[in-house]
Amino acid sequence: MQRYNFKTIERKWQKFWDANNFFKSEIDKNKKKFYCLEMFPYPSGKIHMGHVRNYTIGDVLSRFKKMQGFNVLHPMGWDSFGMPAENAARLNNLDPKTWTENNIAIMRGQLKLLGLSIDWDKEISTCSPEYYKHQQKFFLEMLNKGLVYRKENYVNWDPIDQTVLANEQVIDGKGWRSGAIVKRKKLNQWFFSISKFSEELLSGLDQLQQWPNKVKVMQRNWIGKSFGCEINFQIKGNDPVDNIKCFTTRPDTLFGLSFLALSVDHPVAKFYEKNANFIKFKNECSKTGTTEESIAQAEKIGFKTNLTAINPLDKNIQVPVYFANFVLMDYGFGAVFGCPAHDQRDLDFALKYELNVIPVVKPKDLLKPYQIEKEAYTGPGVIFNSNFLNGLKAPEESINETIKILEKKKIGIKKINFRLKDWGISRQRYWGCPIPIAYNKSGKIVKIPEEMLPIKLPEKIDLNTKGNPLDHHNTWKKIIINGEECTMETDTLDTFVDSSWYFLRFCSSKNNDYGFDYDDVNYWLPVDQYIGGIEHAILHLLYSRFFMQAIGYKNNKFNHTEPFRGLFTQGMVCHQTYKNDKNQWLSPDEVDSEDGKNYFIKKNPKSIIKVGPSESMSKSKKNTIDPTEMINSYGADAVRLFILSDSPPEKDIQWSDQGMISAYKFLQKFWRMHIEILSQIKEKKVGLELDDNTLSKFTNLILEKIEKNLNNFQYNVIVASFHEIYNFLSKQIKKDITFSVLLENYLKILKIMNPIIPHFTTECMENLGYNNKELFWPVLDKKHVVEARANIVVQINGKKRCLINTVINIDENNLITTIKDDPAIKKYLSEKKIKKTIYIKNKLINILI
């Protein structure tokens, strides 16, 4: 018997799809569209199992939607700017462009082996001038709309990568890529005014019903809206400083004021620049570092100024002003008022410097005398010790009432504050999109005129310089604009800018005049299903949402402001880790095991290996499995089948060789059954009515189930259903079935299986005489789903006692009569009176005795 030869068959159908333009998508306003997008890859050189999982999930959905008659857009591109290219180029003495293009060629080939239903005509690459010239236009457009600005700012400086990082790219005080401890440095930087859209970005989340709640919560926290009040404190005497503004969410505790605390970067600090003790204190603060641990453990310290602030509600309350290490300049006004009784931080500070602790919120139902010791009281209660605020219910009543009073007295203003900060986009790097800006001799900003775009990166560049290579390229830096000699901006854009609009580009990937065409975008957008890793929950997704706001700002040409209607975040692919006796990582192909418990090095069977926990596949831990190797050994369909099996797509999956092999074996045994079915159909057997119906019923039930699971992303359950199909069919075909009924049902089953194992099923269908040029999802035949008989669970006092097979829709009295005759139940019912019965039609009966 012939084995299933995946190598020739998979190639055959990939060519067929290609030749018939199977996955080309064009705008067709008579058809319902479906835009399926997976996060595009960085071209590192090789695809990894994470890609395989990501793109298989998207492919299954795309194929399913296409079969359902949707006009599907399923494109692919490359997130191809970024630092690894520069580093690799330096190592291998290549230029980043060549390195990147080679990688793309390799990875494109690898992805094609998977048989993905991608419209390769729409392929884009962010490092090509064809792409980034439009990005430069967006930059200028946004600049004209006042959404881009330049300012001198403290930045997060990564000393290894020699570049600036966005706040989001600093993780635990370390660079997200290099892992180096980030330093503070003052630089002139370009910013996107993302914070201008804080409110829109926050409220937009409510529309996103098909996003995981987890991601929405993370974004909400990130945007960090808080309601409060801006309060202006007068400074006593004739100091050069006469007032200090503070932001507070608890204006109702103002009578508990005992100090003001300022950030060391607060404008007031300029009066202390020459004070040796202040300099010392400032250094002390910066030493604390930015790591999570140090922040948590850092002691609250302060530097006392000679200023005295006056409580605006009561001029007799006068308090000292400190600089303090726990106040941040980039939130609120970089100044807070301290109310130690009701804020733990303030209390810690007050205890250290022996400042007043005045409680102003009293808990209800107080049992013992009320005294603040080492713990601040932050719960609800009633305001006291507070003159005209006394008696207000805190916090629900007191905050709003106090704000009203403060506004009336012109002391404070109601204010909403966001945690979200503007997005710093300048990077001191070569391999990124050049910023279309130059500076004239007097240092003024000059916009590059549109006809001069794109500003291309220079091809020949010396990468072996410190800092930004573009800065050392003297000919590139010189540019003449309107006859005036200028110097190019040498910073390039953060690569997150590239990925913030690529989903728009796919809609009009060939448009030369503009990044996209509004008609195209308004047809395809929003992306109906976006699929990718949870690691992009905040940055990439928030930036993309911002771009829609910014590009559509003041022109209202977009029909939708949210780019991604559905979001699915898939889990990681994990594998066990292995270490030798010297604590060095070992790759899975270096080790072997006979019992699945004890492992040894293949070359040295006596060696002992420590088996570590299963972790997400990474080069550094050497626990990777090469997808192309797997495709070559088992075929794309087997790999697709395995990567979807066992674990739900949103959870992590364990790679197992046994699992991979079992997926392969499944296809082989299904193929053997297929050959048998073929010969039965050729025989033109005419069978018995009963077995025909059993088959039709099964087919339609499994269709119903798989369709539901496709819509819910329960792909692991679908793979389980495939096994059920085999287990059922391999037995059923041994019975008498009319050949035409067998053909019809089997064809239906192959179509249902098509999105997951497309090559295999297409080949099988061709064997049956199907032409494969059109492929539609089978229609559920309800008459076969309706059962003639039902298995009813019989419970006595809530305990299952037996199953009874009866005709469908039997009424309760008839059922009880039948049950009383059943030998398995008789013994429970003998001479007992039935108190009550609960009957769920065709499902269950509970008899209480």
Partner RNA sequence: GCCCUCGUGGUGAAAUUGGUAGACACAAAGGACUUAAAAUCCUUGCCAUUUAUGGAGUGCCAGUUCGAGUCUGGCCGAGGGCACCA
Which one among 65, 66, 300, 565 touches RNA, defined by CB under 7 A? 300
Is residue 48 involved in binding RNA (CB under 7 A)? no
Q: How far is the CB of 724 from RNA (least distance, A)?
A: 5
Which one among 13, 247, 255, 599 touches RNA, defined by CB under 7 A? 247
Is residue 154 involved in binding RNA (CB under 7 A)? no
Helix (H) or strand (E) holding 541: helix 539-551
Query: Rounded distance, CA 98 to CA 564, Å?
Result: 33
CB closer to RNA, 505 vs 575: 575
Site string for RNA, 692-731 (x = CB under 7 A): ----------------------x-xx-xx--xx-xx----
Which one among 74, 575, 751, 801 touches RNA, defined by CB under 7 A? 801
Amino acid present at 63? R
| Token digits of residue 573 | 């692919």
DSSP string, 62-121: HHHHHHTT-EEE---EE---SHHHHHHHHHHT--HHHHHHHHHHHHHHHHHHTT----GG
Find the distance separating the first CA and the last CA of the chain, reported in whole Å. Answer: 61
Query: Rounded distance, CA 456 to CA 681, Å?
Result: 64
Residue (of 748, 645, 566) closest to 67 by Cα position: 748
Query: Rounded distance, CA 258 to CA 311, Å?
Result: 9
Is residue 284 involved in binding RNA (CB under 7 A)? no
Give the chain's count of helices (H) and strands (E). Answer: 26, 38
Is residue 652 involved in binding RNA (CB under 7 A)? yes
Is residue 325 involved in binding RNA (CB under 7 A)? yes
Q: How far is the CB of 792 from RNA (least distance, A)?
A: 9
Residue (of 744, 727, 730) closest to 692 by Cα position: 744
Report yes or no: 371 and 385 within 8 Å, Cβ to Cβ. Answer: no
Cα torsion for 187, 189, 193, 198, to the nearest 10°?
-40
| Token digits of residue 373 | 């010791």
Please identify, among the stretches 120-128, 246-254, 457-465, 739-747, the one whose residues bind RNA according to the rule CB under 7 A: 246-254
Q: How far is the CB of 804 from RNA (least distance, A)?
A: 11
Q: How far is the CB of 784 from RNA (least distance, A)?
A: 16
| Token digits of residue 612 | 């570590």
Could you give phi then psi for residue 144, rounded to 5 degrees?
-65, -30
Rg of the chain in Å (alpha carbons)? 34
CB closer to RNA, 101 vs 676: 676
Residue (of 559, 436, 497) closest to 133 by Cα position: 436
* Residue tagged 């980030």 (tokens): 182
- 3-state secondary structure (DSSP) of residue 659: helix
By CB under 7 A, the residues from 250 to 269 that bind RNA are 250, 263
CB closer to RNA, 295 vs 780: 295
CB closer to RNA, 417 vs 490: 417
* Residue tagged 């302060």 (tokens): 302
Report yes or no: 473 and 458 within 8 Å, Cβ to Cβ. Answer: yes
Site string for RNA, 216-235 (x = CB under 7 A): -xx--xx-x-x-x-------
CB closer to RNA, 46 vs 672: 672
Is residue 328 involved in binding RNA (CB under 7 A)? yes
CB closer to RNA, 193 vs 226: 226
CB closer to RNA, 87 vs 716: 716
Residue 526, preceding peptide bond in cis (omega within 30° of 0)? yes
Which one among 32, 456, 685, 800 touches RNA, defined by CB under 7 A? 800
CB closer to RNA, 262 vs 435: 262
Report yes or no: 364 and 380 within 8 Å, Cβ to Cβ. Answer: yes
DSSP conformation class of 709:
H
Other CB atoms within 10 A of residue 212 CB: 15
Could you give phi then psi for residue 186, rounded to 5 degrees?
-100, 125
By CB under 7 A, the residues from 470 to 499 that bind RNA are none
Which one among 18, 284, 299, 484 touches RNA, defined by CB under 7 A? 299
By CB under 7 A, the residues from 84 to 143 that bind RNA are none
Query: Rounded distance, CA 722 to CA 115, Å?
Result: 20
Query: Rounded distance, CA 469 to CA 163, Å?
Result: 12
Which one among 178, 195, 249, 385 touches RNA, defined by CB under 7 A? 249
Site string for RNA, 175-214 (x = CB under 7 A): --------------------------------------xx
Is residue 416 involved in binding RNA (CB under 7 A)? no
CB closer to RNA, 303 vs 524: 303
By CB under 7 A, the residues from 534 to 553 that bind RNA are 534, 538
Is residue 844 involved in binding RNA (CB under 7 A)? yes
Helix axis angle for 715-732 and 739-753, nearest 10°, is 160
By CB under 7 A, the residues from 592 to 651 that bind RNA are 595-596, 645-648, 651
| Token digits of residue 32 | 């319902």
- Return all residues near 504 (Cβ < 8 A) that are at least 6 apart: 515, 516, 521, 525, 547, 551, 563
Query: Rounded distance, CA 404 to CA 414, Å?
Result: 8
Q: How far is the CB of 534 from RNA (least distance, A)?
A: 7
Is residue 842 involved in binding RNA (CB under 7 A)? no
CB closer to RNA, 121 vs 535: 535
Please identify, among the stretches 29-37, 334-342, 631-639, 740-748, the one whose residues bind RNA according to the rule CB under 7 A: 334-342
CB closer to RNA, 16 vs 728: 728
Q: How far is the CB of 240 from RNA (least distance, A)?
A: 22
Is residue 848 involved in binding RNA (CB under 7 A)? yes
Query: Rounded distance, CA 48 to CA 177, Å?
Result: 19
Is residue 295 involved in binding RNA (CB under 7 A)? yes
Please identify, among the stretches 70-78, 323-331, 477-485, 772-780, the one whose residues bind RNA according to the rule CB under 7 A: 323-331
Which one among 18, 26, 292, 396 touches RNA, defined by CB under 7 A? 292
Is residue 832 involved in binding RNA (CB under 7 A)? no
Is residue 414 involved in binding RNA (CB under 7 A)? no
Number of residues that bind RNA (CB under 7 A): 80
Q: How far is the CB of 626 from RNA (least distance, A)?
A: 21
CB closer to RNA, 456 vs 800: 800
Alpha helices in 635-737, H assignment, sequence order: 636-644, 657-683, 689-711, 715-732
Q: How far is the CB of 561 from RNA (least distance, A)?
A: 24
By CB under 7 A, the residues from 343 to 372 that bind RNA are 343, 345
800 is in an annotated binding site: no
Which one among 416, 803, 807, 834 touches RNA, defined by CB under 7 A? 803
Is residue 824 involved in binding RNA (CB under 7 A)? yes
CB closer to RNA, 90 vs 841: 841
Query: Rounded distance, CA 500 to CA 131, Å?
Result: 12
Which one among 208, 313, 321, 336 touches RNA, defined by CB under 7 A? 336
By CB under 7 A, the residues from 770 to 799 that bind RNA are 791, 793, 795, 797-799
Report yes or no: 135 and 498 within 8 Å, Cβ to Cβ. Answer: yes
Is residue 659 involved in binding RNA (CB under 7 A)? yes
Which one among 584, 658, 679, 805 touches RNA, defined by CB under 7 A? 658
Chain Cα centroid distance, residue 611: 31
Report yes or no: 703 and 780 within 8 Å, Cβ to Cβ. Answer: yes
CB closer to RNA, 288 vs 587: 288
CB closer to RNA, 31 vs 669: 669
Query: Rounded distance, CA 798 to CA 804, Å?
Result: 16
DSSP string, 16-50: HHHHTTTT-----TTS-EEEEEEPPPP--SS--HH
Known binding-site positions: 619
Known binding-site positions for ATP: 619
